[in-house]
């Protein structure tokens, strides 16, 4: 079980951590300069995580609202292997060459059982 904690100041921090705890994959927080993203003034805080063999990257962006996350997604070019979604004020980007793994993780963050 994953017990990664986020050093984030946002009301939805515990909800994001609950998503991470439910992953089968162990992940750890890595350095990430989210202020370099376009529309970064809409970001409250963010974290980037990767698994041990670096074949999976998850970026969690905390915003004030769904609308802010949508602006951020539209303003930043996402490579073909990156897929993203929103769950309220949390935006999440998942990147891996394993498309099944990406689908599973996107489902977890979307709140699917």
The predicted-structure confidence for 12-50, as pLDDT tens digits, reads as follows 999 999 999 988 889 999 999 999 999 999 999 999 999
Q: How many domains does the chain have?
A: 1
Residue 83 domain-assigned? yes
Residue 50 domain-assigned? yes
Are 68 and 40 in contact, with CB atoms under 8 Å apart? no
Between 15-24, 30-39, 61-70, 75-84, the lowest mean confidence (pLDDT) is in: 75-84
Q: How much is the CA Rg of the chain, to the nearest whole Å? A: 13
Q: What is the average per-residue pLDDT within 53-59? A: 94
Asked whether residue 68 carries a pLDDT value surpassing 60, the answer given is: yes
Residue 80 domain-assigned? yes
Residue 5 domain-assigned? no
CB atoms within 10 A of CB 55: 13
Residue 6 domain-assigned? no
Tell me how far CA of residue 31 lies from CA of 27, 41, 46, 47, 48, in angstroms: 13, 19, 10, 8, 7
Residue 1 domain-assigned? no
Its domain, for residue 35, covers: 13-110
pTM here?
0.90
């Amino acid at each position: 079980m994953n017990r990664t904690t986020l050093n984030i100041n946002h009301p939805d921090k515990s909800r994001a951590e609950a998503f991470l705890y439910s992953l089968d994959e162990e992940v750890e927080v890595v350095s990430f300069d989210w202020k370099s993203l376009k529309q970064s003034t809409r970001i409250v805080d963010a974290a980037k995580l990767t698994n041990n063999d670096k074949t999976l990257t998850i970026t969690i962006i905390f915003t004030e609202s769904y609308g802010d996350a949508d602006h951020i997604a539209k303003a930043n070019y996402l490579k073909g292997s990156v897929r993203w979604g929103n769950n309220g004020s949390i935006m999440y980007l998942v990147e891996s060459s394993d498309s099944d793994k990406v689908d599973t993780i996107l489902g977890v963050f979307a709140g699917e059982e």
